[in-house]
Each structure stands twice: as C-alpha cells, then as structure tokens.
C-alpha cells in the first residue's frame, strides 16, 4: 500500500530524481523488513522530501555532499518555523534511519547522522497546556448544536484519557462505559483506560444528537461516518484560536498535557505508561523533564534566598 506515495513527491525536487532508486529502496525496506505502519512510512517520506528540498537550497546536489551541518540547519529551520517538537524529533529519526540504511547498503562512505543523538542535540520537551488553558479550550463549544456537543466530547476524551488521535478516531460506541475506554493501540495491543466523569457526561450529551444509524463509530463527521484525524486536528486548531491560546496545539498536545498533569499531581510513572500505551518506560520518562522544569521555576520564583 505504501507504493501509492512513492513517486509523486520525487518529480519536482531537483537532485532527488538522481537518488530516486535509493529513496524507493529505503521506503521498501522500512515497509517490508521493519514492518512500519503505513502512516509512519508516509510521515518518513514527507520528512525526507522536506529535508532533501532544504539541502538542495543549500547547494547539495548528491547524497555524499550532505553533511551533519545540513541536518542541524534543517532542524533549526523547522524549529524557527515553530514546528511541534514531536514533528522535529520524528524528522530527525527519519533522517537517521535513512542514512543508516544508506551506510548499510554502502551507498555512502560514512553515516553522517551517527553521532546526532536527539536528546543531546535538542531538548525536545513537548508543548503542554496549563490547567487554565485546558479550561479555556474546553469552553469553546455551543453545546446546543450537534457539532458543538461532539467537539466538546472529543476534547474531554483526549484530555481525560491521553489517547492518540488515531485511537480516538477508532473508538466505537461499545468501547465506552461509565468508568473506562477500551482502546486498540499501536501494534494492535488492547488496553483499558480510565475516563473521568466530565468526559462521560460530554459523551452522554453528544449521544443525544446522534441520529439512528448503523454506524458504530463513537465520533461521526458531518456525513455520518467515522471521524478522521484531520478533522480532529482542525477542531483543536479552531478551538485554540477561539480561546486565544498562543501555542502550537495539536491533538498530541492534549495527550502531553494529560500525562504531565498526572505526574505533577503525584501519579506513578508506571501507571502513566500503562494509560498512554507506551511499550517502553523511556518514552514516558520524558515527562519527568517537564516536572523538574516546573519545580525549578517554582523554586526560583518563591524561595526566599533566590
């Protein structure tokens, strides 16, 4: 299925047509041998497109001419244009995997990305909302309308459960009860996630607007079909603008805020890992950086000897 993406973006990228075979071999490699999901392959492809376009503007006309400085400059370019930290981190990972593949296949003499360790290179702490910003975001809905009731329920569920947007879109009506959600996560791993009363109430209110339909999806678009990721992204962008929140907010921001607020209020890291569906505790540990940052800010603001 990944092949539907593999040619169109190569046509207008200057020197990229010279390495078209290498790029397509790489996409085939991560699809078949690594078994990456289609959405991940698509994201890696877009990241490489952007990177190769960027290095072309810097004078590179072949793979051996690309240097470590090109990679750092590209990440700085993304940061300057206010890309989300998760997007910058994913772009770096895509580039590192690509150059590791090129090196393994002896297509370049040295892996220039080998010593670019993302935690050391970039302090990629995710964007997080304050409690006040969350409240403002949740108040931007006309609950007398079907759309407003749905959007309120979507935001309440994202913040109450820390779901990935793909997991939210995949929810069916029978996946929800009064205390928890049954979630199908990455790798088809199912988990039960607690859900608060505010989110349950919002879902119940939205359910009153649902027409009789055989569609089992919990959240529906205007055509009565399962909602998609792009629609959820647009909903959150519109709500953040209405709430005058000057942060680069996405569905993942509510997931980050969910985890950070739990940690700040004393939740165990292993419990947060389970609720987020992280396979490794190291993925969850980055939220400890946020709490340490908040503690340092509080110390500097309130300690009498500062």
pLDDT digits (tens, 9 = 90+) for 113-125: 876 655 444 444 4
Could you tell me if 297 and 269 are in contact, meaning their C-beta atoms sit under 8 angstroms apart? no
Region 139-159: mean pLDDT is 95
Structure tokens at 145: 């309308």
Given a cut of 90, is residue 133 above it in pLDDT?
A: yes
Query: Is domain 2-121 classified as CATH 3.30.70.890?
Result: no
**Cβ neighbours around 92 below 10 Å, total:** 24
> Using one digit for the tens of pLDDT, what is the confidence trace for 257-270?
898 888 888 888 88
Most confident of 29-38, 166-175, 286-295: 166-175
**HSE-up of residue 105 (Cα within 13 Å, Cβ side):** 13
Say which residue, 298 or 134, is predicted with more confidence. Answer: 134
Region 76-99: mean pLDDT is 81
Strand partners of residue 220: 226
> Using one digit for the tens of pLDDT, what is the confidence trace for 20-40?
778 788 888 888 876 777 888
Instruction: Give domain limits for the chain.
Output: 2-121, 131-302
pLDDT at 220: 94
Contacts of 261 (CB under 8 A, 6+ apart): 131
Confidence band of 210 (pLDDT split at 50, 70, 90): confident
Given a cut of 60, is residue 1 above it in pLDDT?
A: no
**HSE-up of residue 185 (Cα within 13 Å, Cβ side):** 18
Confidence band of 295 (pLDDT split at 50, 70, 90): very low
Q: What CA–CA distance (Å, rounded) separates 61 from 298?
A: 50
Least confident of 5-9, 65-69, 181-185, 276-280: 5-9
Contacts of 256 (CB under 8 A, 6+ apart): 126, 127, 128, 287
Residues with catalytic annotation? 164, 186, 252, 255, 278, 287
Contacts of 105 (CB under 8 A, 6+ apart): 22, 25
Of 270, 271, 152, residue with least CA distance to 219: 152
**Cβ neighbours around 251 below 10 Å, total:** 21
Strand partners of residue 191: 183
pLDDT at 168: 94
Task: Tell me what percent of the residues of the chain surpass a pLDDT of 90.
Answer: 28
Strands (E), 94-207: 180-184, 190-194
What single-letter DSSP state applies at residue 247?
Answer: S
pLDDT at 122: 44
- Considering the domain 131-302, what is its CATH architecture? Orthogonal Bundle (1.10)
Of 37, 119, 47, residue with least CA distance to 87: 47
Could you tell me if 118 and 161 are in contact, meaning their C-beta atoms sit under 8 angstroms apart? no
Measure CA of the first residue to CA of the last residue in the chain; give whole Å.
59
């Amino acid at each position: 299925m990944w092949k539907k993406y593999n040619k169109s973006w190569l046509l207008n990228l200057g020197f990229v047509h010279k390495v078209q075979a290498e790029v397509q071999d790489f996409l085939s490699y991560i699809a078949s041998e690594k078994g990456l999901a289609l959405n991940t392959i698509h994201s890696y492809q877009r990241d490489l497109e952007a990177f190769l376009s960027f290095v072309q503007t810097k004078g590179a006309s072949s793979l051996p001419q690309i240097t470590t400085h090109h990679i750092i400059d590209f990440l700085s370019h993304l940061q300057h244009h206010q890309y989300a930290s998760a997007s910058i981190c994913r772009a770096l990972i895509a580039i590192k995997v690509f150059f590791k593949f090129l090196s393994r296949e002896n297509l370049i003499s040295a892996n220039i990305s080998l010593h670019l360790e993302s935690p050391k290179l970039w302090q990629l702490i995710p964007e997080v909302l304050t409690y006040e910003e969350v409240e403002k975001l949740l108040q931007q809905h006309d609950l007398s309308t079907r759309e407003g009731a749905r959007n309120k329920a979507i935001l309440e569920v994202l913040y109450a459960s820390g779901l990935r947007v793909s997991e939210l879109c995949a929810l069916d009506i029978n996946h929800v009860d009064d205390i928890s959600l049954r979630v199908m996560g990455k790798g088809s791993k199912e988990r039960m996630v607690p859900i608060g009363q505010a989110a349950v109430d919002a879902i119940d209110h939205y359910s009153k607007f649902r027409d009789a339909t055989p569609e089992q999806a919990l959240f529906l678009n205007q055509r009565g079909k399962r909602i998609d990721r792009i629609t959820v992204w647009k909903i959150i962008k519109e709500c953040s603008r209405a709430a005058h929140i000057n942060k680069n907010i996405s569905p993942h921001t509510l997931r980050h805020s969910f985890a950070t607020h739990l940690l700040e209020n004393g939740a165990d890291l292993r419990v947060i890992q389970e609720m987020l569906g992280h396979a490794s505790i190291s993925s969850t540990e980055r939220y400890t950086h946020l709490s340490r940052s908040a503690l340092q800010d509080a110390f500097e603001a309130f300690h009498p000897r500062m």
